[in-house]
Amino acid sequence: MAATAAANGPECPATQVVGADGEMDGAAMERFAAAAGLASRGLSYVVVSIFGPQGSGKSTLLNHLFGTSFTEMDALKGRNQTTKGMWVAKAVGIEPFTVVMDLEGTDGRERGEDDTAFEKQSALFALAVSDIVMINLWCHDIGREQAANRPLLKTIFEVLMRLFSPRKTTLLLVIRDKTKTPVEYLAQALTEDIQKIWDSVPKPEVFKEAALSDFFNVDVTALSSYEEKEELFKEQVGKLRNRFINSIAPSGLAADRRGVIPASAFCISAMQIWKVIQENKDLNLPAHKVMVATVRCEEIADERLQSFMSDEGWLELEAAAKSGPVTGFGMKLSAIVDSYLSEYDMEAMYFDESVRTVKRQQLESDILHHAYPAFETVVKHLHCTVLDKFKSDLEQSLRTGGRFAATARYCAQSSLVEFDVGWRDAVVKHVDWDGTSIRNKLQQHVEVHTESVRSAKLDELKATYEKKLLDALSGPVQSILETGNRNSWASIRRLYRRETENAILRFLNSLSEYELDQTASAQMVLELREYARCTVEKKAREEAGNVLMRMKERFSTVLSRDKDSMPRTWTANEDIRSITREARLAALRLMSVMAAVRLDEKQDKIDRALMISLLDGGPLSQKRSIEFTSDPLASSTWQEVSPKDTLITPVQCKSIWRQFKAETEYPLAQAISMQEAHRRSSNWLPPAWTILLLAILGFNEFVFFLRNPVYILGLFLAFVLSYAVWLQYDITAYFRNGNVSGLLTISSSLLPTIMEIVTAIVNMTHNKKHSSHMSRAGPHHAQSFSNQTRKHAQVHYHASPDSASSSSSVDSNSDNES
């Protein structure tokens, strides 16, 4: 603090401006103002004053807070009056300039019962000249009628409005020797007391409707004990000191600067105010005996409250309440409260009745307030027990097959009855605690749980029927769409309506046990119907995404199989152009079916637009200029079809068809090639005119052959050899792929075949010579030779089936010749 003083100029010592006799020393005031340099401050200064009970540490607080040098009480020499009259000093190290006033303590024994006039005058003066008035209060005095200065404040409010035009003053309530009670509770109590005092004060007509906040800013702070917790006290005072720095700022303690007089006129103004206060003789305080009754009854009530809080019976009851439900809690607590109220009545029976009654009510309220947390705990246990039982009963009843609405209603009513019984057992007779809110909270939790279970059950029921609809619609819709018939969507509509209506009837029957209102039921039915529609649309969109693949499959099926679903043979009689058109028409109809969703039975021209625009040639293409003035596929939407129902746009259809035609050219080319090959293989004989020309030109050669048998025999052998070769090979198959390919294949296999035939003929001749020899040798040898010959022929047949067949033909011819 000394360092702070050195940094802010020379220290100004404290000056007594009002003596113990109540006379103001104007000269001393002038000297203080001159020494402190007050006159040059203009409006930039603040006046802070403090008053409170004698010996409450006002001077000590000011010295630590502002760095002043007021005389402090020496506790070792007894608790007596230290500050007499009024003293002023300058705060050290605080801007703006701060004038600190230390007032004589109230309730001092030195002045006796005659001190009330000076107390009222000094307090009124402090309120009149100060921007910030600090009221020093003991923490244990909060709530006391006299110690809290309630009568004094009431009188000051009345006189201040009667003598002066009130200015907005900050009342800073400083709670000393703070206990464990939270500051928020203490602040609330003090603020409410001041508000009540203000409301009860008679006001001039001009301030009849004025609020306390129009004249005062009430603030509360708390400090620990200086003697017991000195370091903590200094730390808290340091934080409080920061609030006085720049206190005239808009958010500071002395923010309201209305009515502030210049600093040069402060001394004259203060002396004039004191003079007016001294001339007023009609101020008085409550009677002394009322004050004594107030203090003593409060002491008795505090003793009884402390005894209750340490009572073994109460502590056991409180512990039992924390561990679980307590049977007879209200009756046990009522007995304990009655005992302590009786003790209070015995000790306070001779004091003022009005004060005694008020303090008794306060004691009863404090005891019940202290006991309320335990009561609240008991009620919470009751709430949880009842709610858990409701959940268990509801689940058990539903598991056994009970109808939901009736079961939930019965279990809820039973739970509320059980709660009412438990509530009556827990309440005490001294206060009518309202259980409506707690009961309503329980009822709300019951309803929330019921609604939660109902929602889960309904979701489960809805999911079940959605699964049934999915199974009933998904597969059949896909199958119908794959057919690509004109009436595909008519079949889908019939399927959709039938399955949806059946599901809705069963769904409504299942909903009856939940007793839903008509709106909710209708909404769920609408959602189920919408789900069915979405299922159909989803499946249609899936199929539309594979439309190109489906079209190619349909085209391939129609192209490669006949009406009996047998593989088609591309003979010369097959009309490839007609079959191709039929296959493309089938594919185009499939794309038409998948181009849009048609669940609403609206007529459209998608099929006709596709036929006219995409199918080349034919009567439909010729009518395009008649029905459509422009290309119907040069658009992103279909006529009479909403965008949400469109699966394939016209532009996409055109692109898909172009890709489809490109990817189906290969099987079409294969079919044409196969038909051409078949035609060539069927026409292996030369033309008729060639045969006729050969007959005319070769007549002489024919006659020559008839006249020479040798040539006829050679021609016969050549025929036999050619026939054998024909049987050995599928000559027609060789020439299907072209003449050159057939000739090369035959030439490569001709020589081995001729060698096999010659070998067979030689073997047959050899066998014939031996057969005659064996016939002379005996029948046994002939039979053995015959078996060997047959075995040899079989082996040769298995080795070369084709050659065997040829050999067989030759053998049979040879036998005939023999």
Q: To the nearest whole number, what is the mean pLDDT of the chain?
A: 78
Task: Output the furthest CA–CA distance in the chain (Å, rounded).
Answer: 187
Which region among 371-380, 384-393, 612-621, 714-723 has the lowest average model confidence (pLDDT)? 612-621
If pLDDT is split at 50, 70 and 90, which confidence band does 110 have?
low
Bin 259: left if φ > 0, else alpha if -120 < ψ < 50, else beta.
left
CA 187 to chain centre: 41
Q: Work out the percent of the chain whose per-residue pLDDT is above 70.
A: 78
Residue 752 scores a pLDDT above 90:
no
Task: Look at 782 and 703; give whichever has higher pLDDT.
Answer: 703
Q: What is the mean pLDDT of residues 167-181?
A: 83
Which region among 270-279, 395-404, 787-796 has the lowest average model confidence (pLDDT)? 787-796
User: The tokens 């300058």 sit on which residue?
Assistant: 90
pLDDT digits (tens, 9 = 90+) for 303-327: 889 999 998 888 988 888 888 888 8
Phi and psi (nearest 5°) for 736? -70, -30
- Whole-number pLDDT of residue 356: 81
Task: Look at 495 and 324; give whichever has higher pLDDT.
Answer: 495
- Whole-number pLDDT of residue 196: 81
Q: Is the CB of residue 735 less than 8 Å from the CB of residue 742?
A: yes
The number of beta carbons lying within 10 Å of the beta carbon of residue 552 is 16
Q: Is the CB of residue 259 less than 8 Å from the CB of residue 318?
A: no
- Whole-number pLDDT of residue 78: 46
Picking from 171, 28, 5, the residue whose alpha carbon sits closest to that of residue 87 is 28
User: The tokens 């561990």 sit on which residue?
Assistant: 323
State which H helix or E strand residue 463 sits in. Answer: helix 436-483
Residue 1 scores a pLDDT above 50:
no
- Whole-number pLDDT of residue 809: 35
Which region among 289-303, 538-552, 789-803 has the lowest average model confidence (pLDDT)? 789-803
pLDDT digits (tens, 9 = 90+) for 759-789: 877 777 777 665 555 544 444 433 443 344 3
User: The tokens 């001779």 sit on which residue?
Assistant: 350
Length of the chain (residues): 818
Q: Which amino acid is at 455?
A: S
- Whole-number pLDDT of residue 694: 78
Three-state SS annotation for 643-655: HHHECCCHHHHHH
Q: Which of 73-77, 197-201, 587-591, 771-775 has the highest mean pLDDT?
A: 587-591
Q: Which amino acid is at 107?
A: D
Q: What is the mean pLDDT of residues 562-568?
A: 82
- Whole-number pLDDT of residue 702: 75
If pLDDT is split at 50, 70 and 90, which confidence band does 10 have?
very low
**What are the strands of the beta sheet with 97-103, ordered from one edge?**
15-18, 86-90, 97-103, 45-51, 132-138, 169-176, 216-222
User: The tokens 């196969």 sit on which residue?
Assistant: 674
Q: What is the mean pLDDT of residues 388-411?
A: 84
Q: Is the CB of residue 381 less than 8 Å from the CB of residue 325?
A: yes
Find the radius of gyration of the CA atoms of the chain.
61
pLDDT digits (tens, 9 = 90+) for 578-614: 888 888 888 888 888 888 888 887 888 888 888 888 8
Q: What angle do CA 216, 221, 224 make, to 5 degrees?
A: 155
Q: Is 519 exposed, middle or buried (0-12, 13-18, 19+ CB in 10 A)?
A: exposed
Q: What is the mean pLDDT of residues 469-491?
A: 88
Residue 673 scores a pLDDT above 50:
yes
Task: Look at 155 and 49; give whichever has higher pLDDT.
Answer: 49
- Whole-number pLDDT of residue 734: 65
Task: Look at 767 and 540; give whichever has higher pLDDT.
Answer: 540
- Whole-number pLDDT of residue 351: 59
Q: Which amino acid is at 261?
A: I
Residue 11 scores a pLDDT above 60:
no
Pull the structure tokens for residue 729.
């090979």
Specify which residues 51 forms β-bridges with: 135
pLDDT digits (tens, 9 = 90+) for 233-287: 999 999 999 999 999 888 888 887 776 666 766 777 787 778 777 776 433 323 3
Bin 617: left if φ > 0, else alpha if -120 < ψ < 50, else beta.
left
- Whole-number pLDDT of residue 223: 92
Pull the structure tokens for residue 83.
């500050």
pTM for the whole structure: 0.44
Q: What is the mean pLDDT of residues 74-89?
A: 69
- Whole-number pLDDT of residue 800: 36
- Whole-number pLDDT of residue 256: 79
